[in-house]
Amino acid sequence: MEHALAEIIHESGSILPTILAIISIAIPFIGFLIIGIFGKIAKKRAPLLGTIFIGISMLISFVVLLLTIKAGVPSQELSFTWLQTGNYVLDFGFRVDQLSAVMLVVVTVISFLVHLFSIDYMHGDTGIARYYAELQMFTTAMLGVVTSTNLAQLFFFWELVGLCSYLLIGFWFHKKSAFQAAKKAFFVTKIGDVGLFIGMLIIFVQGDVNGIHTLNLAQLPAAVKSIALVTPALVTIIPLSIFAGAVGKSAQFPLHVWLPNAMEGPTPVSALIHAATMVAAGIFLTARIMDLFVLDLSGTALIVVRLFGAFTAFFAATIATVQDDIKKVLAYSTISQLGYMIMSLGVFHHSHGALIPIGYTPALFHLMNHAFFKANLFLGSGSVIHATHTQNMHEMGGLYKKMPITGLTFVIASLALAGLFPLAGFWSKDAILTSLANTLSDGWVSWVPFILALCAAFLTPYYMTRCVWLTFFGKPRKPNHAHEASWKTTLPLITLAVLSVLIGFVGAPFFGELFQRFVFFHEFEHEVVNWTIIFGSTGIIFAAVFLGLAIYAFGWLKREKLIRAFRPIYVFLKNKWFIDEAWTFIAIKPLFGISKLALWIDVYIIDGIVNGTAWFAGKLGQLIYWFDSSVVDGLVNFMGWITVQFSNLVKWFDENIVDGMVNSLAHTFGFFGKYTRRMQTGFVSNYAAIMFVSIAIALIVVAIFIF
Amino acid sequence: MTDTYLLLILGAALFCIGVMGALTLRNAIRILMCIELMLNGANVTLIAAASSMPETSGVGQSMVVFAIAVAAAETVIGLGAIVAMYRAKGWVTLEKFNLMKW
């Protein structure tokens, strides 16, 4: 049935949005090629060029979004067969549905603003052309992820996104910490990607849609159903295995360890990749395969997703409260908010024997809002870091007077993140909490995430208050000459702040739920306004802000005293729940252990065998020596005497006749060798050239003989 | 048919670029990359031949997959050798590397 449905949707859309989307993907790719190839020549122009390319791409994305809103259905797919072996078919194609259209706009808008912001931020860096080329490549890959029609193609772009992330984290690769962070990000996300790949392979090999093995996203439910007929357990395992990829990419517990380290990259990169877009790719993937999650009617798969998200939301928020580095605070805040989205994706209720993921739309709504205000926060922190040359919040303070625009936009975005009415975060966070509250009758699998989410909702305003106060207010704790940068820095901040205020209204229940009517899962779900949640969460925000101010602004509660009083908790949080240590203990130590064991075996056992053999051989040698010197030598000496006599005879023959022959032969070879030895130049290239020429001649000769 | 020819030309072109590079470049890493190009030229040729003969049902493609795996292994060894060379000598210029000279 899904198949038929997909066909109908497939037929009904127009092809124009697809073509436009392909163009908007192609433009940054062309930009990447141009900047990448001619970067050395056009070093000065690379920023402007890149910004213009993304600007055009952004405008086209707006058109795509408008067309999709107007049509209300996904556009027609444009694809070709990429690979066909027997009945295993892989397509390569593009399609724009409502979710892709929203993602296209979010990605290009933030990418454009980051490009603009970076002009000043990266000014004077020797690698600026490389920086812009990589940003362009990243944008291409990210747009590819959201418009792919095929899981394999999605995986391809997904890995490309990971590669760009690796390159950009390690942008300042001469710094040891930067390239180590890049490696860590790459390896840790790969752990998740292995799960994604396994899930994909199971579907491709086992799934059977009318006799064809395919990974087309529209056909995946049918494929998984055919697998479920044979092995029912796989219906839970496949989506979770794909979800492992999302856990890695979206930095969920326990694979979140790479994201805080990824802050080694330039700050605009953190804004674009590690706050707004790439980390959202995991959310996007989970939403894309929601069709597979709802096939598991027991709901186990979705509950696992929900618990992972809820725990991550809570645990990252606790860590964010004790970080000193402004970017680390934002990084843990990002992990926490991503956990919120993942949790929301796992919220469902049963209806007529089917699972309705009621958290689907709120999650994607939060994804969009979060992208804007978190990009704003990161760019704001970039502006601050650029001005003060430090990332430690305890060395800042009092910056509001010196940098009013950065300060104001940062405060607005913080309040949006906290979820204050009527800013963006309020609408989506309360939608998530409402959807979760509607399923509380399901027992602990809903209660536990709900409580964790409320805790995170309390911690978020608290750590943002702390961050804002330490950075912008109070007395300057270290002298600096901070001042606002040019319009290229402030314009993105202002734009994002305005969006952080306004974007929430597109999903507000009081304004017609435009977003929910546009992006939904199979059918639109009307959201019932829950006043308890609204007032409760607002109360929580005020309480948290008050607590934060009480500690950091008014000094009613002394920070040192609190640290002393709650020392074990503080140490636990300061060390990030010892997750990095746990990874070291679980994964890295055993690896070194195995290596050491191998070394030990090598040194003691293998070397022992060799040494033992040698000792034995030595003893045997002594025995043989005795035999040799007494028995054999006597014989040999006798034989020697006879031989000497004979030799004298032969000597004459040898000196006169044989030597003459040999010498003349040697002279001949020496004569030739003088010339041929020049071929032995010792250069590999020359040998290779001779080899190629010989083979070519041989082939020509063979060809002549055959034809 | 024309598709096959185009692919064959592409394969040949890749191979020739690889040969040219392998013969003229000095940096060992670049030469390794050129050798990869040659391998890929051969792979494209195989694919072209396989796709023009559907009745072989993927034998050519499988061969290419093997070739890619072998190429990956070869690259690992080659890079290992280059790294060893770099550690020992401090450069990877093959022109200077003429220990085999008479």
% of chain A surpassing 70 pLDDT: 98
What's at A109, amino acid-wise? Answer: V
Give the one of B19, B61, B100 whose C-beta lies nearest to A682's C-beta: B100
- pTM of this prediction? 0.77
- Quick one: tokens of A276? 């707004």
Overall size of chain A counted in residues: 707
On whether the CB atoms of residues A388 and A472 are closer than 8 A, the answer is no
| Residue A6 clears pLDDT 70, i.e. is over it | no
The strand pair at A349-351 and A354-356 is best described as antiparallel
Q: Which whole number is the average pLDDT over A640-653?
A: 86
Give the one of A680, A681, A689 whose C-beta lies nearest to B23's C-beta: A689
**Which residues of B lie inside 8 Å of A (Cβ-Cβ)?**
19, 22-24, 31, 57-58, 61, 94-95, 97-102
- Which residue on chain A is closest to B100 by alpha carbon? A682
- Write down the residue that tokens 């020509």 correspond to: A700
| Residue A9 clears pLDDT 60, i.e. is over it | no
Residues B59, B51: Cα–Cα separation, whole Å: 10
Residues of A204-231 as b/e, b for ≥16 C-beta within 10 angstroms?
bebbbbeeebbbbbbbbbbbbbbbbeee
Query: Higher pLDDT residue, B100 or A248?
Result: A248
Give the one of A86, A677, A680 whose C-beta lies nearest to B57's C-beta: A86
Portion 82-101 of A in contact with B at CB < 8 A: 85-86
pLDDT at B100: 64
The mean pLDDT of chain A is 86
- Which residue on chain B is closest to A683 by alpha carbon? B98
Residues B61, A289: Cα–Cα separation, whole Å: 30
Which 3 state secondary structure label does DSSP give A239?
A: helix
**Residue A683 in contact with partner chain B when CB distance is under 8 A:** yes
Domains of chain B: 3-94 (1.10.287.3510)
pLDDT at A532: 86
What counts of helices (H) and strands (E) characterise chain A? 31, 5
Residues A278, A271: Cα–Cα separation, whole Å: 10
Q: Which whole number is the average pLDDT over A491-499?
A: 90
- Quick one: tokens of B35? 């050798």
DSSP codes joined into one string, B29-88: HHHHHHHHHHHHHHHHHHHHHHHH-GGGTTHHHHHHHHHHHHHHHHHHHHHHHHHHHHHH
CA–CA–CA angle A106, A36, B73 (5° rounding): 100
Q: Which whole number is the average pLDDT over A488-497?
A: 88
| Residue A599 binned pLDDT confidence (cut-offs 50, 70, 90) | confident
Residues A255, A279: Cα–Cα separation, whole Å: 12
**Residue A618 in contact with partner chain B when CB distance is under 8 A:** no
CB contact under 8 A, A680 and B100: yes
DSSP class of residue A527?
P
Asked whether the bond before A422 is cis by omega within 30 degrees of 0, the reply is yes
| Residue B12 clears pLDDT 90, i.e. is over it | yes
- pLDDT tens-digit map of A55-79: 999 999 999 999 888 887 888 888 8
Between the CA of residue A698 and those of A605, A688, A692, B35, what are the distances in Å? 52, 15, 10, 21
Overall size of chain B counted in residues: 102
- pLDDT tens-digit map of A144-158: 999 999 899 999 999
Specify the range with the lowest mean pLDDT, choosing from A232-241, A503-512, A534-543, B27-36. Answer: A503-512
Reference A468, options A570, A393, A403, A389; nearest CA is A393
Residues A681, B100: Cα–Cα separation, whole Å: 8
Q: Which whole number is the average pLDDT over A7-22?
A: 72
Give the one of B61, B98, B99 whose C-beta lies nearest to A85's C-beta: B61
| Residue B40 binned pLDDT confidence (cut-offs 50, 70, 90) | very high
CB contact under 8 A, A681 and B98: yes
| Residue A97 clears pLDDT 60, i.e. is over it | yes
On whether the CB atoms of residues A516 and A525 are closer than 8 A, the answer is yes
pLDDT at A12: 59
- Which residue on chain B is closest to A686 by alpha carbon? B23
| Residue A8 binned pLDDT confidence (cut-offs 50, 70, 90) | very low
- Quick one: tokens of A344? 């929301």
| Residue A405 clears pLDDT 80, i.e. is over it | yes
- pLDDT tens-digit map of A210-235: 888 888 888 888 888 888 888 888 88
Q: Which whole number is the average pLDDT over A402-416?
A: 90
Other C-beta atoms closer than 10 Å to the C-beta of A7 total: 11
CA–CA–CA angle A451, A456, A462 (5° rounding): 135
CB contact under 8 A, B94 and A685: yes
Q: Which whole number is the average pLDDT over A371-377?
A: 92
Q: Which of A284-288, A507-511, B52-56 is predicted most confidently?
A: A284-288
